[in-house]
Amino acid sequence: MNALSLDTVVLAENKQELVILDQTLLPGEIRYLHLSRTEDIREAIYSLRVRGAPAIGVAAAYGIYLAVAGLEETDMDRFCAVFREKKAYLNSARPTAVNLSWALNRMERVLDAERDTLSVEEMKRRLCQEADAIRAEDIAISRSIGEYGFSLLRHGDGILTHCNAGTLATAKYGTALAPIYIALEHGWDDLRVFCDETRPLLQGARLSAFEMQTAGVDTTLICDNMASITMKRGKINIVFVGCDRVAANGDFANKIGTSGVAILARYYGIPFYVCAPSSTIDLSIPSGEHIVIEERPAEEVTHMWYAKPMAPEGVKVDNPAFDVTDHSLITGIITEKGIAYPPFDRAFARLGIV
Ligand code: MRU
């Protein structure tokens, strides 16, 4: 079994259910959930059953389609009112990944642009098409990021990644792991991938290491606090990470711990690349200070992975799920349109990211 063959998030053939791979169970169990209720889709996003910025966007697009697909309403005004109410509800699932609101806003633009020319039934079909398009585009975008990232690799490279920005985080291929999938297609068998385990939810251990190992890549799992010695020992040639939101100046949010990896990479003189679909670039915010960092329950730190508590009862816990890396620490941002090098605001404009 190769994780690349697993669908992360798809619409069922009957077009009445969202089928998601429950990532909270990986790597131990491969179980698909069939969800149709908006509450269950929001819960799946909140609980990280479907996770990773692009996959969240795809799930939200199908989620809003399914939220209105079963309505018996024929009046367009009332249909639109329900759409907006459900959209706000889905959008509240997680704050940091911009792809959630990006996908929902894109679906709403279809509603606004075509509500005067379509019947309610036609609108439902149109919304389904748009969600399908978001998913299909995500596959093409991830592949393109993979090609650009691959162009930076040399035979034998050691690649460090943090969290999971692989096929499981997108509709297919991933962003930070896509260059490795492309390298495999080219017959490269000498890359070495190091996965930070990524506490507290272990996306690196449970998901990235699983993806890379099942793809047949030389994979080494390290605890988050081992990145420094691994770099110092000369095992890392390049860092690839994903992101949840990039500001206009290039500051970006990604899984908690990413900024520490960037600081280490700068210290050891290792190139540090961010892999970002243009949908993750939020030009409406000038810098990372404007990114809302999701705070998650203390139990993820104190209880999550053992039946017994892993910390003294009642201890104060901080659990920010993301951090912001300063743009000055980034070598380049790999998008589907090309690689942006500093200064990033000008590079984005040159790549047509507006
Ligand atoms: O909390 P998660 O697992 O959704 O966090 C995911 C990440 O931080 C990824 O690196 C990011 O969303 C990019 S996925 C291509």
216 and 300 together in one domain: yes
The answer to whether residues 338 and 351 touch, using CB atoms and an 8 Å cutoff, is yes
Q: Report, as an integer, the average pLDDT of 12-37.
A: 97
Q: What's 57's domain CATH number?
A: 1.20.120.420
Residue 57 pLDDT > 70: yes
Judge whether 135 lies within some domain. yes
- Residue with CA closest to ligand 1 atom 15: 165
Judge whether 148 lies within some domain. no
Judge whether 200 lies within some domain. yes
Q: What is the pLDDT of residue 251?
A: 98
β 238-241/245-247 pair status: unpaired
Judge whether 149 lies within some domain. no
Q: 63: which residues sit within 8 A by CB, 6+ positions away?
A: 18, 38, 41, 42, 45, 90
Tokens 């890359």 locate to 191
112 and 201 together in one domain: no
Q: Report, as an integer, the average pLDDT of 231-235.
A: 98
204 and 284 together in one domain: yes
Judge whether 107 lies within some domain. yes
123 and 236 together in one domain: no
Domain end point (choices 83, 109, 142) = 142
Q: What is the pLDDT of residue 305?
A: 67
Kindly state the percentage of the chain with pLDDT values over 70. 99
Testing ligand 1's pocket by substitution, the residue of 203, 210, 324 carrying the most ligand atoms inside 8 A of its CB is: 203
Binding-site residue set for substrate: 51-53, 94, 203, 254-255
Q: What is the pLDDT of residue 5?
A: 96
Q: How many domains in the chain? A: 2
> 61 phi and psi, to 5 degrees?
-65, -45
Eight-class DSSP state of 206: I
225 and 126 together in one domain: no
Confidence of residue 307 (pLDDT cuts 50, 70, 90): low
Domain end point (choices 142, 174, 194) = 142
Kindly state the percentage of the chain with pLDDT values over 90. 94
Instruction: Answer whether 242 contacts ligand 1 (Cβ < 6 A).
Output: yes
Confidence of residue 308 (pLDDT cuts 50, 70, 90): confident
Residue 320 pLDDT > 70: yes
Average pLDDT, the chain: 96
34 and 89 together in one domain: yes
Q: What's 315's domain CATH number?
A: 3.40.50.10470
79 and 211 together in one domain: no
Q: Report, as an integer, the average pLDDT of 49-59.
A: 98
Q: Report, as an integer, the average pLDDT of 219-227.
A: 96
Instruction: Answer whether 94 contacts ligand 1 (Cβ < 6 A).
Output: no
Q: What is the pLDDT of residue 314?
A: 87
Residue 68 pLDDT > 70: yes
Give the separation between CA 233 and CA 242, rounded to whole angstroms: 24
40 and 132 together in one domain: yes
Instruction: Answer whether 54 contacts ligand 1 (Cβ < 6 A).
Output: yes
Distance 178 CA to ligand 1 centre (A): 14
Residue 310 pLDDT > 80: no
| The token pair that represents 85 in the structure block | 């109410």
244 assigned to active site: yes
Judge whether 147 lies within some domain. no
Judge whether 84 lies within some domain. yes
Judge whether 63 lies within some domain. yes
Instruction: Answer whether 321 contacts ligand 1 (Cβ < 6 A).
Output: yes
164 and 63 together in one domain: no
β 218-222/18-21 pair status: unpaired
Which is the catalytic residue, given 138, 244, 282, 323?
244
Q: What is the pLDDT of residue 256?
A: 98
Whether complex ipTM tops 0.90 = yes
Q: What is the pLDDT of residue 319?
A: 87
Distance 254 CA to ligand 1 centre (A): 6
Residues 279-288 pLDDT 10s: 999 999 999 9
Confidence of residue 89 (pLDDT cuts 50, 70, 90): very high
Reported pTM: 0.96
Give the separation between CA 323 and CA 277, rounded to whole angstroms: 19
Distance 253 CA to ligand 1 centre (A): 9
Residue 306 pLDDT > 70: no
126 and 203 together in one domain: no
Confidence of residue 249 (pLDDT cuts 50, 70, 90): very high
Instruction: Answer whether 324 contacts ligand 1 (Cβ < 6 A).
Output: no
Q: 252-256, 315-319, 346-350: which has the minimum mean pLDDT?
A: 315-319
226 and 105 together in one domain: no
Confidence of residue 209 (pLDDT cuts 50, 70, 90): very high
Cis peptide preceding 200, ω within 30 of 0: yes
Q: Which domain holds residue 273?
A: 154-350
Amino acid at position 155, single letter: H
Domain end point (choices 91, 115, 142) = 142
211 and 307 together in one domain: yes
> Residue 283: which of 109, 106, 141, 98 has the closest Cα?
98
The answer to whether residues 242 and 325 touch, using CB atoms and an 8 Å cutoff, is no
